[in-house]
Structures are given as C-alpha cells and as structure tokens.
Structure 1
Amino acid sequence: MSDPLAEIVSLLRPRAGHGKIARGFGAWQVSRELTGEPFYCVVLDGSARLTVGSLPPMEIKAGDFVLVPALFDFHVLGLPEKGSIGADIPVAPGEVCHGDLEAPANARLLVGHFYFGSPDAHLLVSLLPSLLHVRGAERLSTLVGLLTDEIRAARPARDMVLARLLDVILLEALRIAPSEKAPTGILRGLADERLAASLRRLHADPARDWTIESLAREAALSRSAFFKRFRAAVGLPPMEYLTAWRMALAKDHLRDQVLGMQEIAERIGYGSASAFSTAFTRFVGVPPSRYEVEQKQAIASWRPISAVVAG
C-alpha cells in the first residue's frame, strides 16, 4: 500500500539551508520578512512568544518544535516582555544573542531554514499544514540537533546526510502532529479512515483510469458523500487532486530526465505522449518538452544559498 505523506515529502526534495543557536536575554525581539522558505525552531531552554504571519501569537516553551513549510514573516518576543529592547549580538559562528547580555537569560532556541528543490513545491506545500507546533518533541529535537551539527561540519557525503535528515524531520513532524485537528490538507485527509483508503489507492496506482465512483468505492462511500467529504478535508475535489498529483509526478520525471514522454505518459495515466502533452500544457502552461529544457537549465545554474533567519 502506498504512503501518500512519504511520497509528498520525497517529491518536495528538501535541501539544507542555515541553522544556528539563538539566545535571549532580558527584553528582546526579532522580526523578519522572508520569501516563503521552510522554517523550523526547537526551544532548548526557556520560552518566547512567536507570531507567524496573521496567525495568533503563541507561547513556545522548552521541548517545543515548530515547523512552518512556507514562512513569509514572523516575530519572536522574549518573555518577560518588559524593559528596553537590547541589540542583536553575534557571539560565535552559528550563534547569536538577542537583548541585554547583562540581563537574565530567558530563552535558547535552535532555529534554521531549508529549501524545497521540487519545481512543484507550491502545490505540495499547499497540502501541508501552514504551521506545526509539537510539544515534548524529544526525537525531533535530537534530529534537528544532528541537522544543525551536520550543516556546520564539512564531512564526507554531507549533502546526502542532510537530505536524509530533512526527510526524516519532516516526516516525524507531520506524523506526530494532531492530524484529527489539522487544517484542510493531506494530514486531515489521512486522518479520515475512509478517505485515507482512497488516497492510498490513488497514490499506489496513479495511472489507473480513476473516476469519482471508483474512488468512492475505495472509501466505501456514496459518490456524493465521498466528493463532499474529500473536498472538505483535502481542500481539492478528488479529480483535481488526482490531476495535480499526476502533474507533480510528471514534473519530477521530467526533472530527472530518465524517462521518455511516452513512458511518463503511461506511468501517470495517459494513453499517449500527445494526450499527456496536451494535459500537461493545459495544467502547467508550457509543453513538457519546454519544461524539461527549462528544468535542465535551472539545475545547471542552481547554487546553494546561505541566509540568516533569526538573527
């Protein structure tokens, strides 16, 4: 049986960015505007108040793990909040202090960001929760610590180790999140036993000639009940989800440049290369042959980017 969550994370192709330790003393705050990259934070000691985008502020405490798959702006405020705001002071490579160093320490955070290498990241990220907040995440804290240590080191096979660690961190965070209370998306869909059955079958055999009726049978629901339940949970009608998933797979194959057009067409449910080309062009806006060339050029010109996130 297929595992939709693992397949989505695999297609996202996470890449390492930058990680560091941030310490807070007295009254301090950090505000950043970013460009939609994934962000993570582990509270090692103390507490702080975190605001992400337009979401309500939340207090994060020691042992908490926060993951934002697409971060555009955030604000972190030290607790207690009283007093004048001190300066940001880099104290060592990979470490920064916020506030007044003569004031009591009140937070120690492990923060960082990474990137998704998938050309379809925006679609895949839209299926994930906009924010994950997990308490008592000892396993995640350990994994993120290993990730940060590996980012700073120059060991053999570094990129491969980083990629595997990011895969595991994302999967661990997603699978231990309270999926029954998750916002619209894949976690909420998989939390519904009926919908999970149809999602797993769809992912296991995307080339099958699926219809709403056949997917509804997998979920043991009527056609109308399945359609309403799927759209409410996942955020897309069933056939739109199927098309989006097929196109995400197609983009991945085109990026790898291993299979020909006819082989890709057959693997994702189209009877011919021309039928696949028509559907792909309608969905993406460019023919698959042009898309393949553009991806080859993008891969050739890509360079890792290091940026400071919270300091």
Structure 2
Amino acid sequence: MTDPLAQVVGLLRPDLSYFKFIEGTGAWRVRRSEQGRPFFCALLEGTVRLEVHGRESLRVEKGDFILIPAAYDFTSSSIDPTPAANVDTMPVEVRPNVFRLGDPQADPDVRMLIGYCAFGSTDAALLVTLLPALVHVRGEDRLTTLVQLAAEESRASRPARDVVLARLMEVLFIEALRSAGPHAPSGLLRGLGDERVAIAIRRMHEQPTAPWTIASLAKEAAMSRSAFFVRFRQAVGTAPMDYLLHWRMVLAKDLLHRREGSVAEIARRVGYGSASTFSVAFTRHVGLPPSIYARDETAG
C-alpha cells in the first residue's frame, strides 16, 4: 500500500544535521528573520514563548517539538521573567555548539535543541505547501521519548554523538509530522488523519495516472460526491482535483529533474494522454514549459 507521507518525505530528502544547543537563564529574547528556511526546536527543559508573525504566541514546554517548514520572522523569549520590550539578547558560545542566552554564570533554566532543516529536493517549496505552516506537537509519548533521547545524547560525550543526534532529528521530524495530523488546521497531514479522505489521498498517490474524477474518488471513500467534496476540501484545504494536479506536478518536476524520459513519456507517467496537454498544465502550474524546466534544472 502506498504511504503518501513517506512519499512526500522521501521526495523532500530532509537533512537535520545542522543544529545547536541553547541554554537560557533569566530574561532573554531572540528575534530571527529567515528566508523560508525550515526551522525546528525540541525543548529539553523549561518553558519558552514562541511568536511567529501573523499567529498567536505559543507556549512551548518541556518535551514539545516545533517545526516551521518555511520560516520567516519569529521570536523566542523567556516567559518568567519577561524580557524588556525591544531588547534583544545576543547568544554567547559557552562550549562547542552550546550557546547561552542571559547570565553566562547562572544555572540555565531553559535548554533546547534548535536547528535548520535542509531539503535535498529541488522542488521543496512545492512539497512544503502540502505540510502545515507550523507543527507544534505536545503530549505524544513517542515524541517525548525521542526528545529525551536527544537530551541524554546531548549531555554525553560519546563517540559519533553528532551522527546519532542527526539521525534522532530525522526521526523526530517524521514523528512530528505523523503526530501533528489530527491537530493540523488543514493540509496533507490533516487529510491523512481523516479515515475517508485518507482513502482518496492514498488512491491518488497509488495511481496518479488513473482518470480520477470526483465521482470515482467519492466512490473509493464510500461517500456521496457532494459530501466527499466538502469533507476533502475542509480537511486538505484544496479541492480533490486540485490536489491531484498538485501531486502530479510534484511527480513531474521530480522526473524532469532526474531526466527520466522525454516530455511525452513523463506526461504519460503522471496521467496525461498527450505531451501537449501536459505541457499546458505544467506551464500554467509551474510557470515554465517542461522542456525549459528540465533544461534549467540540468544546467543548474
């Protein structure tokens, strides 16, 4: 059986090997301005306030895991005591890859593992749209265990510590996505958490070349056309046929990047009866004809 989440993660090829440890004590605030890089944070001890532009502030507690697949402007700060307004704290490296916020002489009351995730996919931006804008997981035993393992590993000086931590972060990434499904406002994860909608998503991923219609997908989900359409759009945030188009374009871009066949062959492999029909759809969705996209990817 096809696993849509495994497919997306496999295409993204996440690399979470860049991370550092942050210790905080007293009042502190750090503002970050990114250009869409994926950011993650595992809180090992204490409590932190996270403010992401355009969203309500979050209280992040011990054992929580945060993932922002495309981060821009956000701020993390102490909760008690509250930092003074418009005052930013400069992290100070106190040990290799360990940074202190606040008094470097005092015992830390906050410890967290933060980092940035690199995606190996050349089309990460398109794939990231299938994920929630922010993943905040709490109270999941499996995730808490992984965070605890990361905390223990971070405190030890064992051989290959960084390699072990990098692998733990990759597992944390996947586990966080799985755990976030029922709580996500919409998107692929929310859709996979809905038993009926998940059936339709799996069918589209298993057979992207099939001539799917609303009626045939609704039949797979054992629902009426109208009820299925509404339920799918509420869960995933887009209409079923739009999701299918999106997924076909993800597959097409990956095939074009890897030069796996001519445009006509790739068109057939993603469900189009002719190269011209595929080219029109691809150009409308991506902004470039498939032949030019393939040439630019090869040149890059």
Cα deviation 1:181-215 (Å, max 9, x = unaligned): 32111121112111111111111000001111111
Counterpart Cα distance in 2 of 1:254 and 1:234 = 26
Counterpart Cα distance in 1 of 2:21 and 2:228 = 47
Counterpart Cα distance in 2 of 1:147 and 1:210 = 48
Aligned residues: 289
Deviation at 1:143, TM superposition (A): 7.2
What SS does structure 1 have at the residue aligned with 2:132? coil
Counterpart Cα distance in 2 of 1:63 and 1:116 = 25
- Picking from 261, 277, 280, the partner of 2:279 is 277
- Residue 41 of structure 2 is matched in structure 1 by 41
Counterpart Cα distance in 1 of 2:152 and 2:188 = 28
- CA pair 53-140 structure 1, distance change in 2 beyond 3 A: farther
Letter in 2 for 1:131: L
- Residue 257 of structure 1 is matched in structure 2 by 259
Cα deviation 1:65-84 (Å, max 9, x = unaligned): 11111111211112322577
Deviation at 1:103, TM superposition (A): 3.7
Counterparts in 2 of 1:99-114, with a 5 A limit? Answer: 99-114=102-117
Q: Is 2:11 the partner of 1:11?
A: yes
Under a length normalisation based on structure 2, what TM-score does the superposition of the two structures give? Answer: 0.86
Cα deviation 1:49-69 (Å, max 9, x = unaligned): 111222222222222211111
Segments of structure 2 that go 5 or more residues without pairing to the other structure are none
Under a length normalisation based on structure 1, what TM-score does the superposition of the two structures give? Answer: 0.83
- Tell whether the 8 Å contact from 2:190 to 2:235 is kept in structure 1 after alignment: yes
Cα deviation 1:189-245 (Å, max 9, x = unaligned): 112111111111111000001111111111111112111211111111111111110
Deviation at 1:15, TM superposition (A): 3.2
Segments of structure 1 that go 5 or more residues without pairing to the other structure are 299-311
Letter in 1 for 2:144: E
Letter in 1 for 2:121: S
- Tell whether the 8 Å contact from 2:26 to 2:78 is kept in structure 1 after alignment: yes
Q: Please give the root-mean-square deviation of Cα atoms over the aligned residues, in Å.
A: 2.7
| More divergent stretch after superposition (223-232 vs 128-137) | 128-137
| More divergent stretch after superposition (9-18 vs 22-31) | 9-18
Counterparts in 2 of 1:1-311, with a 5 A limit? Answer: 1-16=1-16, 18-82=18-82, 87-136=90-139, 137-141=143-147, 168-177=171-180, 179-298=181-300
Counterpart Cα distance in 2 of 1:146 and 1:252 = 38
- Tell whether the 8 Å contact from 2:21 to 2:97 is kept in structure 1 after alignment: yes
- CA pair 279-58 structure 1, distance change in 2 beyond 3 A: closer
- CA pair 289-19 structure 1, distance change in 2 beyond 3 A: same
Counterpart Cα distance in 2 of 1:36 and 1:182 = 20
Counterpart Cα distance in 1 of 2:255 and 2:290 = 10
| More divergent stretch after superposition (34-43 vs 113-122) | 113-122
Question: Alignment identity in percent?
Answer: 48
Higher-RCO chain (CA-CA 8 Å, sequence separation at least 6): 1
What SS does structure 2 have at the residue aligned with 1:75? strand
- CA pair 207-27 structure 1, distance change in 2 beyond 3 A: same
